[in-house]
Structure 1
Amino acid sequence: MANPAAELSGEHAVDAGAHSEHLTATVEHPAADGHHAEPVAFGLNPSGWVGLAMLVFLGLLLWKKVPGILVGGLDAKITEIKHQLDEAKQLRAEAEALRQEYANKIANAEKDAAAMIEHAQQEAEAIVAKAEVDTEAMIKRRKQMAEDKIAAAERGAIDELRAKAADAASIAAGGLIAESHDATADKKLVDEAIAGI
């Protein structure tokens, strides 16, 4: 029976020999195949090490609960954004209420302005009507005063004419009497007057 250790060491020798032949072949003919030799450490090539590094990195991230922190940060950001959106909705509702309030105020102001204009027109019409009535009354009073003055002036003129006529008549009568009466006629008149007393 053969020695298993010898067989095992023989297999390793054959395997090591084949491997060295393979390395020798790659080193001797690098330009012929178009491939170059990749470094290998602990049985892993560079892409294996990159994958292992990624696994270790992801493991560290999971161990340090980085995804939870990220999710918590994102949740906090989402909550903050929702809060801001709620505030924006509330502000928009308040702005709409203010706009509606000012629209109502403008409508009321327009109604008030129309009522004030109508009231002012009515007052102006009343003032014009009163002024017309007052003017007519004043015209009538002044006309009456003028007529009264004219009538008074006419009466004064008539009275003056009468007085002048009476004066002229008395002067004329005196002149006539003086011409037609002499001293004897005057004596006779005086005697008659005395007798009548």
Structure 2
Amino acid sequence: MFHDPRFWTALAFVLFFVIFGRKLWVAITGHLDARADSVRHDLDEAARLRREAEQMLEDANREREKTLAETQAMLARSEAEAAGLAERARKDAEAAAARYEKMAQDRIHAAERSAIREIQDRAAQIAVAAARDVVSTRLTESPDIAATLIDKGIDSLPEALRRSAA
């Protein structure tokens, strides 16, 4: 047994672990504990970063929804404003058309009045010419009628002047 190399190898192995085993065990467990602490720290850091990322995502989603709501509100206001502007433009166009129509009607009425005056003036001229012809024909035939007409004209002159002044 003492001559067998396996015995001495086994004994050396056992003595090595008895002498250095505690130190090796402490060093190995210390290294493993340090590694476990490092992994635990990394996991805690990853969890913290994940929570922060989730919070940032939630904030970004809230901000996006808020911005979307503001955009929709702005769009609604813009549409309402555009509708108001269109309505105002329509009313302005209608008012302008009404003004132009009124001006055209006024011009037509003025032209009608002018035409009526011209017709009346022309009719009066024709009537005066016809009356002149009739009167001159009759006056030349009968001088008494001329005197009577002149007297009636002079008598009705004050009344005609009063009517024209009023």
The alignment's TM-score, normalised by the length of structure 2, stands at: 0.68
Q: Which runs of 5+ in 1 are unaligned?
A: 1-39
Alignment match, 1:109: 67
Q: Which runs of 5+ in 2 are unaligned?
A: 155-166
Separation in 1 of the partners of 2:125 and 2:8? 162
Alignment match, 2:119: 161
Separation in 1 of the partners of 2:114 and 2:19? 137
Separation in 1 of the partners of 2:136 and 2:15? 172
Separation in 2 of the partners of 1:93 and 1:44? 67
Separation in 1 of the partners of 2:43 and 2:3? 53
Per-residue deviation, residues 91-132 of structure 1 (Å, max 9, x unmatched): 001011011101111221232233223323322332333233
2:103 matched to 1:145? yes
Alignment match, 1:134: 92
Separation in 1 of the partners of 2:89 and 2:65? 36
Map of 1:172-191 to 2, 5 A cutoff? none
2:44 matched to 1:121? no
TM superposition shift of 1:53: 2.3
How many correspondences in the alignment?
Answer: 145
Separation in 2 of the partners of 1:48 and 1:94? 61
TM superposition shift of 1:140: 2.1
Residue type of the partner of 1:155?
A: R
Per-residue deviation, residues 152-176 of structure 1 (Å, max 9, x unmatched): 1111222232333444455556666
Percent identity between matched residues is 31
Per-residue deviation, residues 136-159 of structure 1 (Å, max 9, x unmatched): 322322221111010011112222
The alignment's TM-score, normalised by the length of structure 1, stands at: 0.59
RMSD (CA atoms): 3.1
SS of equivalent to 1:101: helix
Which one has the bigger helix percentage?
Answer: 2
**Structure whose alpha-carbon radius of gyration is higher:** 1
- Structure 1 window deviating more from structure 2 (75-84 vs 111-120): it is 111-120
Separation in 1 of the partners of 2:28 and 2:133? 150
Residue type of the partner of 2:61?
A: A
Separation in 2 of the partners of 1:166 and 1:60? 154
TM superposition shift of 1:68: 1.7
